[in-house]
Amino acid sequence: MGKLRFKGQDKPKKRRNDSGEEKDGQGQPKKRKEIGTSGQESKPVLRLDGWGTAVTKKDFKGPCMIVANKSDPVVVAAGLDEKLYVSGELDIVPEDGVPPAGAKDEHTDGSKQAPIHCTEPTTVKQVFTFVPISDKQKSLLDHSASDKFALRTRDGRYLSSTGLLARAVGPQEVFSIHEATDEPQQDRDGPWWTVECGGRQLALQESGSGSPLDPVFIESESDRASGTIDRFVIRVHMSNTVAGSEMLLSNSEQTKEDDISSVVRSLYKETQGALVIDKDLIARLKKAQKIGNLNEQIIEEKAKYLTRW
């Protein structure tokens, strides 16, 4: 998983050499956008070290952000007092037309994206981590991705439908995340999700007229005040998405490391896409291969996911 970049970190300044060629902050020539034979810019490459918008449940892996408001985005955050709050301190990182993460871009027409689809965190308080919860009611023949998760904070607490942060996972900390399909397709601008637990739904409401938004859990229409927000965009680390994983696989070097690439491909398929492909995974597999324990390591990696789904 790539390093999180937070607001306030200096970005390399652009420079030009004597020939007028633009360079980045390290003095290397800046890559120009490639132009196809038709005169159109070729499709940019997904930025695997950044964040993308989840477009399928298979993208629900690793760190995530629960974001609302299309043009002026805010995020659900975990406070130090075991309470949730709404934060508007987000980085907006334009992706130059790069589509949201996912196997297929079914929710956008390729036009300039709304700011909500360019958000990145400025603090770990804005980041939760998906913890898949096994669904005992699912058929053993159903290999689809789980839609039940606990959402863990950086310090090991969990989002709870009580409105507070819990120290352990119980029924009030197990959430189902469903795609909202009741809005006109032309108005959706990407997939929106509901976050629910035991009949209670995560929402953002004003505690009073003109007051800031607060995270609440509503049970019925009578709890729904005017202006209630209950649809969210889920932002995830790009390298954990279906699109990011496929790119990492397709870009693997065709050298003596082909054996490791083949193992990763096999694990990715056998875990139904749940495998988190990162540098740590590759390092573990390479080390096991070097000492002759590759088969044992493969079993260990597979067990991490098959016991959770």
pLDDT tens-digit map of 157-179:
999 999 999 999 999 999 999 99
Mean pLDDT over each residue of the chain, to the nearest integer: 76
> b/e string for 227-244 if b means 16 or more Cβ within 10 A?
ebbbbbbbbbbbbbbbbb
Higher pLDDT, 245 or 263: 263
pLDDT of amino acid 269: 81
pLDDT of amino acid 164: 92
Contacts of 143 (CB under 8 A, 6+ apart): 272
The sign one gets for the Cα dihedral 256, 261, 266, 270 is: positive
Note the residue count of the chain: 309
Contacts of 13 (CB under 8 A, 6+ apart): 25
Q: State the pTM of this model.
A: 0.64
Q: Looking at the predicted structure, is the pLDDT value of residue 213 above 50?
A: yes
pLDDT of amino acid 81: 82
Lowest mean pLDDT across 14-18, 83-87, 157-161, 189-193 = 14-18
Judge contact between 268 and 94, C-beta under 8 A: no
Residue spans of the domains in the chain: they are 51-237, 252-306
pLDDT of amino acid 225: 81
Out of 3.40.1080.10, 3.10.20.30, 3.40.50.720, 2.80.10.50, which CATH number does the structure's domain 51-237 have? 2.80.10.50
Q: Looking at the predicted structure, is the pLDDT value of residue 297 above 60?
A: yes
How many whole angstroms separate alpha carbon 103 and alpha carbon 97? 16
pLDDT tens-digit map of 247-271:
766 665 444 455 788 888 888 888 8
